[in-house]
Structure 1
Amino acid sequence: MGIVNITQADSQGAPAPGSPDGRSSRWQSHREERRRELIKSARRAVHLLGSDASMEEIAAAAGTSKSVFYRYFGDKAGLQQAVGEVVLSQMQRRIKEAAQSAHTPREGLLAMVSAYLQMAETSPNVYTFVTRHGSGDPEGSSGAVSGALGHFFDAIAEMIATPMRSHLGDGKHAVIGYWPKAAIGLVRNAGEQWLSTPDSPAKPDQEAMARQITAWLCVGIAPELTPAARE
């Protein structure tokens, strides 16, 4: 009941309505709520307009002015970082949930790759917006965006490494420090190329692409080669 009822001590320690602290708290709460709304609006705008949408276009789609976005996020890189933190957090949570439902390391890889591709395919424009920086932006302004993305892929690499550690042969544990990062590179580059490939009969669907990437991770390209090429 303590979480519901306010004790006398709590009452005495709380700022009175209308006090400077109370006004400051309400203003901060308002700013945080407004920031969340702007992030949602920006995400919808990018989904519709494309990853190269300008701040002016994003603001117009959100029904506000460009100056409002600059006030809350500083510049386009700041907006990308804010949207990226939300999007990448959701992707990380979804990938983790997928991995936890698997019974074997290979099932786990397939589940994680599938979740990654599904989330990216939901809105390629938003995915590109938070993982790449526009060529017209100032050099070096993408540091915060790159940092958030790096943390995301580091977390995914650890998710990949964890189940593998209990299935490695004797003396093979040092290898695990290299393979997850290599795996991330393969998944990301193959996935992004797949996302950017125009639809055609030759393009694999999401499920087939996830299975193909997982096969490359587990057994490599050898099964696709002729017997002579495998020697």
Structure 2
Amino acid sequence: MNKLLPVSPPAFAAGSADGRSARWQTHREDRRRELIKSARRAVHALGSDASMEEIAAAAGTSKSVFYRYFGDKAGLQQAVGEVVLSQMQQRIREAAQSAQTPRQGLFAMVSAYLQMAETSPNVYSFVTRYSPADADTSQNAAAISGALGHFFESIGEMIATPMRTHLGDGKEAVIGYWPMAAIGLVRNAGEQWLSTPASDSKPDQEAMARQITAWLCVGIAPELDQSKSP
């Protein structure tokens, strides 16, 4: 009497499971990107203080869907911020590459930063500010702060590169401190400019970029430089 041998599952079974898993992962990633785009449009229209419920309604879905993909509002801010800040970084890098001099490079980068922030002040505010009350965990809040810090560190290195070449050797101490100080000036001046109501006295984007560049290069009152006194 022949013994019955165990029947092995079809060879394609494991492959089919892997294929389903890959398709599901792709679906989740596509859905997540769609939700990020929808949230960005909603914040642009509704304002940076829009609630998760308002964002979900504008996206044509439920709040629970956003919570499923992002955890909480801080998680959504982080996800949108990663996309927006990456685009800003790329735009600033491209602007710098077209410059012929260090000062032109600074102007191009400041101008690109202001242009993208001005395109949607609501989205800019949404991804660069967060309320601890909106975060379910301090880890999420730290992630937002970390992503923002990484963005400005990258920009700081970008603006330092042409200045190293311009200043030459022996200026390492200046270059070491200047980029982050410059970023603080650009960010704070830019955000104050964004929040200032339109008026005849408010400079346009190009004029503001030129003013900030002048502050970075020569300061606000170069005639007060005592180092040049006898």
Bucket of the pairwise TM-score, normalised by the shorter protein: 0.7 to 0.9
**Structure 2 Cα separation of the partners of residues 19 and 169 of structure 1:** 61
Contact 2:72/2:134 (CA < 8 Å) preserved in 1? no
Query: 1:18 Cα shift?
Result: 7.3
- Aligned partner of 1:212 in structure 2 is 211
* Equivalent position to 2:101, from 90, 104, 113: 104
**Structure 2 Cα separation of the partners of residues 18 and 166 of structure 1:** 55
Which deviations, in whole Å up to 9, do the C-alpha atoms of 1:127-165 show, x marking residues without a partner? 000000136424834211111111100000000111111
**Taking structure 2 as the reference length, what is the TM-score of the superposition?**
0.88
**Structure 2 Cα separation of the partners of residues 28 and 76 of structure 1:** 23
- Superposition pairs for residues 41-56 of structure 1, below 5 Å? 41-56=38-53
Which deviations, in whole Å up to 9, do the C-alpha atoms of 1:92-112 show, x marking residues without a partner? 000000000001000000000
Mark the CA change 1:32 to 1:169 in structure 2 (over 3 Å): closer, same or farther. closer
- Superposition pairs for residues 125-204 of structure 1, below 5 Å? 125-134=122-131, 136-138=133-135, 140=138, 141-204=140-203
- Aligned partner of 1:10 in structure 2 is none
Mark the CA change 1:173 to 1:16 in structure 2 (over 3 Å): closer, same or farther. same
* Equivalent position to 1:122, from 119, 124, 129: 119
**Structure 1 Cα separation of the partners of residues 85 and 130 of structure 2:** 15
Contact 1:52/1:134 (CA < 8 Å) preserved in 2? no
**Structure 2 Cα separation of the partners of residues 89 and 41 of structure 1:** 18
SS in 2 for 1:19: helix
SS in 2 for 1:142: helix
- Aligned partner of 2:20 in structure 1 is 23
Contact 1:16/1:22 (CA < 8 Å) preserved in 2? no
Query: 1:185 Cα shift?
Result: 0.2
**Structure 2 Cα separation of the partners of residues 168 and 214 of structure 1:** 17
SS in 1 for 2:166: coil
Query: 1:169 Cα shift?
Result: 4.5
SS in 1 for 2:134: coil
**Taking structure 1 as the reference length, what is the TM-score of the superposition?**
0.88
Number of aligned residue pairs: give it: 214
Q: Does 1:221 align with 2:227?
A: no
**Structure 2 Cα separation of the partners of residues 215 and 177 of structure 1:** 20
Seq. identity, %: 83
Which deviations, in whole Å up to 9, do the C-alpha atoms of 1:13-69 show, x marking residues without a partner? xx7797110000000000000000000000000000000000000000000000000
Q: Does 1:68 align with 2:46?
A: no
Q: What amino acid does structure 1 have at the position aligned with 2:85?
A: L
**Structure 2 Cα separation of the partners of residues 134 and 42 of structure 1:** 17
SS in 2 for 1:64: coil
* Equivalent position to 2:78, from 71, 78, 81: 81
Mark the CA change 1:19 to 1:169 in structure 2 (over 3 Å): closer, same or farther. closer
Query: 1:75 Cα shift?
Result: 0.4
Q: Runs of at least 4 residues of structure 1 off by over 4 A?
A: 15-18
Show structure 1 runs of 5+ residues with no match: 1-14
Show structure 2 runs of 5+ residues with no match: 1-11
Q: CA RMSD in A?
A: 2.1
* Equivalent position to 1:32, from 29, 35, 41: 29
Q: What amino acid does structure 1 have at the position aligned with 2:217?
A: C
